[in-house]
Structure 1
Amino acid sequence: MTEMVEGRRQQQSFWFIACALVLLVQIVAEHMMGRVPICTCGYVKLFEPVVKSSGNSQHIADWYTPSHIIHGFLFFGLTHLIMRGKPLSMRLFVAMLIESGWELLENSPIIINRYRAATISLDYVGDSILNSAMDAVFMVVGFLFAWRAPVAVTIAIAIFFELLTGWLIRDNLTLNVLMLVWPVEAIKTWQGGI
């Protein structure tokens, strides 16, 4: 019995280490892409409250942080459905691959230019490495929260985050995806009214 427990513990350790390596690869890749390590302002803030500012997407957290927590909720649900019976640590690894892949794509010229062309983010320059890495960490927070919390609570928090950010900054995960994939001029006009 103790051998089984020890084997399980080693397997979980392997996948958690693999998650950390994925984050490290993301950080190194973004450095090689020329991303700035921290805000060009020269300091680090815990939270950047102004969306239309040069500090947005540059510090530890911002108004898009709830979207990354929701990513964690969604990736937990997805891996729960398609990887039933697999260890949580392996499922978290898959979530990290998806999130880190998105962070690399999001900070590539093709997506940065798409944001500038199709959304109100005309001055978007991409994330700092710090912000991007923290986006992945916040996804992990969301994933682990969804693992421990009742489904109804997780869904309620996701809806609350979407409504709150939609009201405060006229943007959220749903609108962000919609405007990136299929821009709606009326939404762009409404979002520009901040």
Structure 2
Amino acid sequence: MSKTHRALAASFLVLLAAAAILWLMGRPPICTCHRIELWGDVGPQQSQMLLDWYSFSHVIHGILFYAAGALLLKKVPVERRLLYATLVESAWELVENSPVIINRYRVATIALGYRGDSILNSVSDVLMMGLGFWLAKRLPLWATIMLVVILELIPLAIIRDNLTLNVWMLLAPNNAIRHWQAGA
């Protein structure tokens, strides 16, 4: 088995381990509504479908992880950098679906009724990060930057949220932003 195949297999095993840990944490495998849909509409069930508005954020994670690896781990093969990115993203999915962070989202953001992700959505989020990583490797820098801008602006315009606001509101909640996001 080549180094590339070993690194990809290790990334897959990390994803499987994260899914198993989410199961042990009591996360539902699919939406608690017992449906599997491609796209989750805004609301409490959106993070339990395969994809949702926050899938764009995970693509951006992959782009950022690729950029960080390219800057900080220049001598590390790209396949191993993908493994590291998969470890970080999978760890985030575990933290994001812990009771502490779920409650933080409910209190500090507009995510009223948020119950956390289904395992299906968490696995999809890690795969979306992988897509972002792959796109950053393949696209020219200008196209990657434009993609990040587009992936931030579309959800901002449609649901009044994006990766930037999500992180901001999680770390330093702001009532003016929360009221704007709520359409008030």
121, 126, 129: which one pairs with 2:119? 129
One-letter amino acid of the structure 1 residue matched with residue 20 of structure 2: V
- 1:75-125 C-alpha deviation (Å, 9 max, x unpaired): 000011111022111000010011001000000011001001111112110
**Alignment match, 2:42:** 51
Alignment of 1:27-66 (within 5 A): 27-48=19-40, 50-52=41-43, 54-66=44-56
One-letter amino acid of the structure 2 residue matched with residue 193 of structure 1: G
1:108 maps onto 2:98 in alignment: yes
Query: Which 5+ residue runs of structure 2 have no aligned equivalent?
Result: none
- SS of the residue 1:57 aligns to: helix
TM-score, length-normalised on structure 2? 0.97
Structure 1 runs (4+) greater than 4 angstroms displaced: none
- 1:33-91 C-alpha deviation (Å, 9 max, x unpaired): 0000001111211112x212x32101110111100000010000001111102211100
Cα distance in 2 for residues equivalent to 1:42 and 1:185: 35
* Contact 2:39-2:46 at 8 Å conserved across structures: no
1:140 maps onto 2:130 in alignment: yes
Cα distance in 2 for residues equivalent to 1:61 and 1:132: 9
Over the matched positions of the two proteins, sequence identity in percent amounts to 48
Larger radius of gyration: 1
Cα distance in 1 for residues equivalent to 2:46 and 2:61: 19
Cα distance in 1 for residues equivalent to 2:38 and 2:112: 24
* Contact 2:63-2:132 at 8 Å conserved across structures: yes
**Alignment match, 2:172:** 182
Cα distance in 1 for residues equivalent to 2:48 and 2:71: 34
Cα distance in 1 for residues equivalent to 2:35 and 2:105: 25
Cα distance in 1 for residues equivalent to 2:81 and 2:162: 25
TM-score, length-normalised on structure 1? 0.92
Shift of 1:11: 1.2
CA RMSD of aligned residues (A): 1.0
Deviates more, 1:81-90 or 1:129-138: 81-90
- 1:124-175 C-alpha deviation (Å, 9 max, x unpaired): 1000000000000000000001000001101101101111110100000000
| Number of residues of Structure 1 aligned to a counterpart in Structure 2 | 184
Shift of 1:23: 0.1
Cα distance in 2 for residues equivalent to 1:57 and 1:27: 15
